[in-house]
Amino acid sequence: MKKILILNWKQFPDTKDQADSFMTGFTSFIKKNKLEALVKKHEIVLLPPYIFIDRIMDIEAKNVSIGAQDVSRFNQGAFTGEISSKMLKSLGVKYVLVGHSERRLNFKEKNEDINTKILNCLHYNLKPILCVGENARNKNENSNSFRIKKIVFTQLNECLKGIKEDEIQDVIIAYEPVWAISSSANSKVADVSDVETMLINIRFWFETRFGKDKALNVKILYGGSINKDNILNFKSLFINDGFLVGKASTNLKELGSVLTNLKKL
Q: Which residues bind ligand PGA (CB under 6 A)?
A: 8, 100, 176, 181-182, 223-226, 244-248
35/133 with CB nearer ligand PGA: 133
- The distance of closest approach from Cβ of residue 123 to ligand PGA in the complex, given in angstroms and rounded to an integer, is 25
33 and 260 Cβ atoms separated by less than 8 Å: yes
- Give 179 or 210: the residue with its C-beta nearer to ligand PGA: 179
6 bridge partner residues: 45, 244
Helix axes 16-32 and 252-262, enclosed angle (nearest 10): 30
Give the angle 6-8-10 at the CA atoms, nearest 5°.
170
Distance separating alpha carbons of residues 56 and 13, to the nearest angstrom: 12
Q: Which is nearer to ligand PGA, 9 or 210 (CB)?
A: 9
Nearest residue relative to ligand PGA (C-beta): 246
**DSSP-derived pairing of the beta strands 3-8 and 42-47:** parallel
Instruction: Give the closest residue to 175 by CA, choosing from 165, 163, 189.
Output: 189
We find the least distance from the C-beta atom of residue 150 to ligand PGA, in angstroms, to be: 22
Q: How far is the CB of 214 from ligand PGA (least distance, A)?
A: 26
Distance in Å, CB of 179 to ligand PGA, minimum: 10
Instruction: Specify whether the CB–CB gap between 100 and 69 falls below 8 A.
Output: yes
Active site residues: 100, 176
Taking the complex as a whole, the smallest distance from the CB of residue 6 to ligand PGA amounts, in Å, to 8
* CB nearer to ligand PGA: pick between 223 and 256: 223
Backbone angles phi, psi at 21, to 5 degrees: -70, -30
In the complex with ligand PGA, the residue whose CB is nearer, 48 or 215, is 48
Q: Give the burial string for 231-246 (b: 16+ CB within 10 Å, else e).
A: beebeebeebbbbbbb
Give the end-to-end CA distance of the chain in Å, rounded to a whole number: 16
Backbone angles phi, psi at 29, to 5 degrees: -65, -45
